[in-house]
Amino acid sequence: MVKDPVLLRKNYIKNPFFIIDIISVLPTDLAYLFLGTQCHETVPCPVIFRLNRVLRLDRMFEFFNKTETRTNFPNAFRITKIIYYILILVHWNACFFFAISFSIGFETDGWVYQGSENLHDQYIFSFWWSTLTLTTIGETAQPIQDSAHVFVILDFLVGVIIFATIVGNIGSMITNMSAARDEYQSRLDAIKQYLVFRKVGDELETRVIKWFEYLWNNKQSLDEDQVMGMLPDKLKAEIAMHVHLETLKKVKIFQECEKGLLVDLVLKLKLEVFSPGDYVCRCLLRLETELCLVNSQF
């Protein structure tokens, strides 16, 4: 990874996006100090001075892609991103509606913009009209001009396609967010059915349910072997050392061991969860007894 600022600047200047980024951040908004923000029949709309901001689209998509791979809450970020996309589409559509209304003439018929010359009122009305049209959940005035008919037809088609896609994506993300919970619940239901079928006592059934609840509450229901299996051996070793090495050092028989041996032991560890009152070291004591018997024979 290159971190030298000089090399980074040279590489960025050679990048074709350098010119586009420069154009997109030019302070064209200063034109409003001279032209104002009023827009009516005798004064053209100065919105053209902000069109250079559209050149930031590629950077916006790049930001979303990088953030989605780095965030710890990918599903929540995806839903937020889709909501942001919806707002952008509604905003752009509102701008097109206002521009067509301006070209036809304000208040010339019942379809075009009806209202005051105040910028706030103009934007709110256009945004409201755009939301109703794209979502197809409300009724608007019947268009009169041919250009207005064409625009409304395109709006309906685009709105149906885009919002159907968005609703489908949101449904899939919500399903993914609850997938872990559904899998846990299905496993728990299967265990309950098995215990009932085998006529297991209430005490043992309660212990089993509490064990499952503990796994879920502590987020230990993940399949570590499946998750770690996607990583290379070096990363698996580093993660295992970070998770288990300090715990392993607390065991008295491993405190004087070399680090290489501890690393090998860490890679062999597997997560096991025991209920209160369970024997954890019974097998180790039996093994120690067997080793003593073997040594006594020699």
Select from 182, 204, 181 the least CA-distant residue to 194.
204
Q: How confident is the model at residue 224 (pLDDT cuts 50, 70, 90)?
A: low
Tell me which residue has tokens 């509604």: 90
Query: Any idea what the Cα angle at residue 269 is, between residues 263 and 273, rounded to 5°?
Result: 145
Question: Has residue 43 got a pLDDT over 60?
Answer: no
Per-residue three-class SS string for 165-201: HHHHHHHHHHHHHCHHHHHHHHHHHHHHHHHHHCCCC
- What confidence tens digit (pLDDT) does each residue in 107-146 have? 777 788 877 777 788 889 889 988 888 887 767 777 888 8
Please report the pLDDT score of residue 295 as a whole number.
41
* pLDDT computed for residue 9 by the predictor: 92
Res 33: pLDDT: 77
Q: How confident is the model at residue 11 (pLDDT cuts 50, 70, 90)?
A: very high
| Rounded-to-integer distance, Cα 237 and Cα 297, Å | 39
Beta bridge partners of 33: none
Q: Is the pLDDT of residue 287 over 70?
A: no
Average pLDDT (47-68) is: 83
Q: Say which residue, 184 or 90, is predicted with more confidence.
A: 90
| Kind plus residue range of the DSSP H or E element containing 77 | helix 74-104
Question: Please, what is the Cα angle at 273 between 208 and 188, to 5 degrees?
Answer: 35
* 219: three-class secondary structure by DSSP: coil
pLDDT of 153 strictly over 80: yes
Q: Which amino acid is at 66?
A: K
What are the structure tokens assigned to 107, written together? 């208040």
Q: How confident is the model at residue 222 (pLDDT cuts 50, 70, 90)?
A: low
Q: What pLDDT is recorded for position 39?
A: 65
Q: How far apart are CA 233 and CA 244, in angstroms?
A: 16
Mean pLDDT within 255-272: 76
Output the pTM of the full model. Answer: 0.61
Per-residue tokens: 195? 């215990």
Q: Is the pLDDT of residue 4 over 80?
A: yes
For residue 40, what pLDDT is reported? 57
Domain boundaries defined on the chain? 5-179, 222-269
Helix %, strand %, coil % of the chain (to 5): 75, 0, 25
CATH value of 5-179 in 1.20.1070, 1.10.3470, 1.10.287, 1.20.1290: 1.10.287
How far is 256 from 184, CA to CA, in rounded Å?
Answer: 41
- SS (HEC) of 222-267: CCHHHHHCCCCHHHHHHHHHHHHHHHHHCCHHHCCCCHHHHHHHHH
Number of other residues whose CB lies within 10 A of the CB of residue 44: 11
